[in-house]
Amino acid sequence: MSNTFALTDVLPLPNSSVKIPRLGFGVYRSPATQTTQSTLKALEAGYRHIDTAQFYANEKEVGEAIRKSGLARNEIFVTTKILAPAGSPEETYKKISDSVDKIGGKDGYVDLFLIHSSSSGSAGRKELWQALERLLEEGRTKSIGVSNFGVKHIEELKPFAKVWPPHVNQIELHPWSQQRVIDAYCKKQGIVVEAYSPIVRNYKANDPTLVELAKKYNKATQQVLIRYALQKGWVPLPKTDDPERIVSNADVFDFDISDEDIAVLNALDQGSAGAIVEAVENE
């Protein structure tokens, strides 16, 4: 089966008119001094989806890059995230609103706002979700979602949520940690699955199976992993500050990994033991 994708491809979010670009550019661990330059390079290379977070301390610099890019704001999809509640519903709302100000100014918006972690406890997750729902109602974000949420965390939102299912769940995904339970659950619910650490921070660059496939397709190992994520139906968010790598990570639309080779990569799965950041808790 042919998997024809293009850098301009988008996916629809559930119960929403919003569409999310199939490939994103992550700025995790990108120093603030470097973020504007790297984001501009990514936009120049054709990326139209930028993924930041309060925790990364570079939201303002992403906003600067968007303004400097010369692109219309509606041509770029921007995601940010909140890690934990701020002490009260009002303070939590203010904290997320401040992020939107940093990225887009007082009249600005973001395209997607996520709860960054499931670690705030049930009351904390509820407070965060209700703050995001308010932001969505006010038009300061176009969509809302979660990150590092397992099945139980998403189900837990259902009784009180005005918006359910979440539009997106961003989790660690690559051949060594395929998180099959949450992936299948999200797909069944129509939740778009984003893959962070899709290139495993290059820890697997010398993996014999991966190296062999990279040779076979005449591509870098990173390109094989990003292409794999696309063919799995995920939205990969590779990150790098290397200008050449920024370009090459987007050069994944001129080859197709065969079903046989997808099966070879699938066989590398180590379950939660294969995660380098976090495997979600489903039960």
> Is there a catalytic annotation at residue 109?
no
Kindly list the distances between the CA atom of residue 195 and the CA atoms of 73, 86, 177, 280, in Å, as whole numbers in the listed order: 24, 27, 11, 13
How far apart, in whole angstroms, are the C-alpha atoms of residue 154 and residue 218?
Answer: 40
Sorted by where each begins, the domain ranges of the chain are 10-269
User: Quick one: pLDDT at residue 123?
Assistant: 97
Q: How confident is the model over 50-83, as pLDDT tens digits?
A: 999 999 999 999 999 999 999 999 999 999 999 9
Please answer whether residues 52 and 27 qualify as being in contact, where contact means their C-beta atoms are separated by less than 8 angstroms: yes
Domain covering 10-269, topology: TIM Barrel (3.20.20)
- Identify the active-site residue in 56, 185, 196, 228: 56
- List per-block mean pLDDT (blocks of 10 residues) for the chain, which spans 283 residues: 80 97 94 94 98 95 97 98 96 98 96 98 98 98 99 98 98 98 98 98 96 99 98 98 97 98 99 96 96
User: Quick one: pLDDT at residue 1?
Assistant: 37
Q: Taking the mean position of all CA atoms in its chain, how far away is CA 77? A: 11
Task: Report pTM.
Answer: 0.97
Residue 62 tokens, joined: 């992403």
Nearest to 103 by CA among 69, 55, 53, 138: 53
116 among annotated binding-site residues: yes
